[in-house]
Chains A and B, each alone.
Chain A
Amino acid sequence: MSPKTLYDKIWDAHLVDEQADGTCLLYIDRHLVHEVTSPQAFEGLRLTHRKVHAPDKTIAVPDHNVPTTQGRENPEQMTEDSRIQVQALDTNAKEFGIHYYPVSDVRQGIVHIVGPEQGWTLPGMTVVCGDSHTATHGAFGALAHGIGTSEVEHVLATQTLIQKKSKNMKVEITGKLKPGVTAKDITLAVIGKTGTAGGTGYVIEYCGEAIRDLSMEGRMTVCNMAIEGGARAGLIAPDETTFEYVKGRPHAPKGAQWETALEWWKTLYSDDDAQWDKVVTLKGEEIEPVVTWGTSPEDVLPIGATVPAPEDFEGGKVEAARRSLDYMGLKPGTPLSEIKIDAVFIGSCTNGRIEDLREVAKVVKGKKVAEGVRAMIVPGSGLVRAQAEEEGLADIFAEAGFEWRLAGCSMCLAMNPDQLAPGERCASTSNRNFEGRQGYKGRTHLMSPAMAAAAAVTGHLTDVRELS
C-alpha cells in the first residue's frame, strides 16, 4: 500500500463516490448547526419537502446572537432580529428532530466548544458546520471544516458533501516552547510566516514536539485558526492526550465499542514516508509571545517589536498596510508594548476553554484591571463557566474587576450586544482583527489569553513575561 497522510486516511474512509474528474462525494459523520447560517438551509428543505437525512448526527446550539448577561432566557433581552433567528433554530431543531442545546441548557455554548465537550467530536470523523472555525475539531484528528449555507442544506438533505481533495501541507513545530509562550502564539506565528492565503488549497497537519506537548485545549486553539491561514482544515494526529480527553464524555463510545474505536484511532497518523505538497517548519524555542498590529491575522509581530511601516512590505500589501495603520490609528515605529487599550475580551472558540481561563487567572490573581479598561471574560460554554466557578477562577476574575459573563460567541464577532465603540482598542483572544469585526470602527489586537490578561492589568499591550 502506498504511504498516506492522516488526511488521506480519513478522506478514504469517508469516500462514497468518486468521478473521473476527481469530484468526490464525502460522507459526513457530524454536522454542527448554529442559528446564523442555518435558517435558509432549513427553509430550503421545507420548500423541497426534504427531510434531515441523519438527525442523530446533527447537533444544534445557538451561540452567535445570544446575550451573555444574566436573565437572557428572557427573549426580550435580544433585539428582534436576533430573537427571530434564535427562535427559528428552536423551531427547526424540534421540527426536524435534531439534537439541541437551547440557551437555558447548562451545556449551551459556542458550537466548537460544545461539540468536543460532549464527545460528539471524535478522532477520524468528518465534521462540518456552517462556520469557518469548524477547523477547531481537527485537534482530535478529525477532518473538520466550515461550509456555506447551501452546503449546510446539502449535508442536512444527504449527509454528504461534494468535494475535491485538497493538497497535503505539514506544519512542524519542533522543540519546546519558552515559558509564557502558548498555543495561540504558535498558531499566530504560523500565520505570520505563511500569510492568510498560504494555506489556500491545503489541509494542514500540525506536528512536532511542541504540538505533541500541547493539551487538547491548546491543540484546539492551534487548529481553530487554520482557516485564518487559508487552509480548508487543520488537524493533529490523535494520541494518548486525545484519548484521555475523549474517554467518558457523554457521546464517546463505551465498553467494547471504546476498544474497537481505540484500535482504529491508533492507526490515524501520517505514514513516515507520506508525500507532502508543502512543508513549513518553525522552531518552538524561537516563537515569542505575539500580537497583531493590523487588520489581517497575518499582521503578527513579537510583542518586543515596533509598528511596521507600509514601505516594509511589497506588492498589494503596501496599500493594505497603509489602510490598516490608518484604521488602527497607529504610527510606524511605535513600540507595540506602548499601545494603550480600552477593552479586553477573553473568550471565543479560539480561547474560551478552561485552560485559557486558568492562564488568565494565573496572571491576574491579586491584581486589578487597569483604570479605564473594560475587561470581559466570556466562557465558551455553560460547563466551562461552571468549572471555572468551582475552581475559584471566577472569584479571582471578580476581585480583579473583570466582568464574568454567560457563554456565547460575544465580542469575537459582536453579533450580540457585546461590541466595541468606534475607535475603541481591544486586546482580544479571538481570531479575527478585521475592520469592524468587534464593532463599527473598533480596533482589535489578537493575542493569547495570558497576554490579554497582562494587557488588562497594565492598560497597554504587555509582554506577560515582564509582569511580576
Chain B
Amino acid sequence: MEKFEKLTGIAAPMPLVNIDTDMIIPKQFLKTIKRSGLGVHAFAEMRYDQEGNENPDFVLNKPAYRESKIIVAGDNFGCGSSREHAPWALADFGIKCVISTSFADIFFNNCFKNGILPIVLPQEDIDKLMDDAERGANAVVTVDLENQVITGPDGGEVKFEVDAFKKHCLLNGLDDIGLTMEKAPAIEAFEATASQARPWV
C-alpha cells in the first residue's frame, strides 16, 4: 500500500449529508474483478448525465476542483453498502483524504486499507474548512498525518485525532495481512482451545 505522510492539495466542498457509497460508486460499476480504473466512475450519477456528459454544476467537474485531493464532506459520509469500490474509486480519482463530522463504520475502515485518510472533526472545524474549500483553486490544504494537523490556505491549523495503529499502518504503507500472519501461533492456539470448547463451530 502507498504510504500516506503529508498531503497538499485542493479541497473540494461536498456539504451534502449522508453521501452514501451508492452515490460514490453506483452499482453498475461493481461488476469488475479488478480494483483499478474506477476513478472515472466516481460519483457517476451526480457527475454525468444519462448520455455520459459532464454535469457542470457538480463540484469535481468545476475547473478549480478537477485535481482535488481532499473532500470536505457533510455528516455520515460513506454510509450504506460495504463496497470497497467506493474508496478504490476515490483513490483512483486522486482523493486521498476525506474530512467530515462522521463516517459510516465500514467505509471508514475501508479507507485505511487503501491509503486514504478519513478525518473526523467537530462541526465548527468542518464549517471553517468548508469555507476554505469554497475558495476554488485557492482552497489548498495540507494534511500532515505525522503531526496530526491540517493547515488551511490562511495558515490556520486544525489538530485531529487518529487511531495509533491505523496511523502507523498508513505512515508506513503496511499490509495488515502480513502483520496478522506473524501472529499465526496465537491464532492456532486459539483454534485449539476453541475446538475443545465449541466443537460444533
- B-contacting residues of A (Cβ < 8 Å)? 13, 16-17, 19, 21, 23, 25, 27, 29, 36-37, 39-40, 43-44, 48, 50, 53, 57, 64-65, 79, 81-82, 84-85, 88, 122, 124-125, 130-132, 145-151, 153-154, 157-160, 162, 164, 196-197, 200-201, 227-228, 230-232, 252-253, 257-258, 260-261, 264, 296, 298, 315-317, 319-320, 323, 413-415, 422, 432, 434-437, 440-441
Contact = CB atoms under 8 A, between A and B. Distances in A.
B114 A150 contact: yes
A154 to B, nearest CB: 5
B7 interface: no
Contacts of B102: 197, 200
Contacts of B74: 316, 320
B41 interface: no
Interface stretch (B131-139, B147-155, B193-201): B193-201
Given A17-B186, A436-B22, A43 B180 contact: no
12 contacts: A17-B186, A36-B31, A53-B187, A85-B33, A131-B81, A147-B109, A148-B87, A162-B176, A200-B105, A230-B76, A258-B200, A435-B23
B140 to A, nearest CB: 25
A175 B163 CA distance: 41
A324 B50 CA distance: 19
B107 to A, nearest CB: 8
B26 interface: yes
Given A146-B82, A200-B105, A158 B180 contact: yes
B109 A148 contact: yes
Contacts of A162: 165, 176, 180
Contacts of B50: 422, 440-441
Contact of A27 (B22, B23, B83, B190): B190
Nearest to A130: B82
A410 B152 CA distance: 46
A81 B201 contact: no
A65 B177 CA distance: 29
Given A148-B109, A437-B22, A264 B80 contact: no
Contact of A432 (B22, B35, B103, B181): B22
A232 B190 contact: no
Given A25-B180, A158-B180, A37 B76 contact: no
A434 B83 CA distance: 15
Contact of B180 (A65, A154, A422, A437): A154
Interface string B83-107: 1100100000000000000111110
B80 A132 contact: yes
B84 to A, nearest CB: 4
A389 B72 CA distance: 52
B31 A415 contact: yes
B186 A25 contact: yes
Contact of B186 (A16, A132, A320): A16
B27 to A, nearest CB: 5
Contact of B27 (A227, A228, A415): A415
Task: Give the one of B18, B30, B87 with max A CB within 10 A.
Answer: B18
B184 to A, nearest CB: 8
Given A16-B186, A146-B106, A158-B181, 10 more contacts: A25-B183, A154-B176, A201-B105, A228-B80, A230-B79, A260-B200, A413-B81, A434-B20, A435-B45, A440-B45
B113 A160 contact: no
Contact of A132 (B76, B82, B183): B82
Interface string B34-54: 110000000001000010000
Contacts of A441: 50
Contact of B15 (A125, A197, A298, A316): A316
Given A21-B165, A150-B114, A316-B16, A200 B22 contact: no
Contacts of B26: 436, 440
A419 to B, nearest CB: 9
A197 B79 contact: yes
Contacts of A264: 198
B177 A153 contact: yes
Contacts of A258: 200
By CB atoms of chain B within 10 A, which of A53, A150, A230, A413 has the most?
A150
B84 A150 contact: yes
Contacts of A85: 31-33
B158 interface: no
B32 to A, nearest CB: 7
Nearest to B15: A316
Contact of B104 (A16, A153, A200): A200
A323 B200 contact: no
Nearest to A85: B31
B8 interface: no
B45 A436 contact: yes
Contacts of B200: 122, 252-253, 257-258, 260-261
B55 interface: no
Nearest to A200: B102
A40 B109 contact: no
Contacts of A17: 183, 186
B176 to A, nearest CB: 6
B79 A150 contact: no
Closest 8 CB pairs between A and B?
A: A253-B200, A150-B113, A39-B33, A148-B110, A148-B84, A81-B31, A316-B17, A146-B82
A23 B22 contact: no
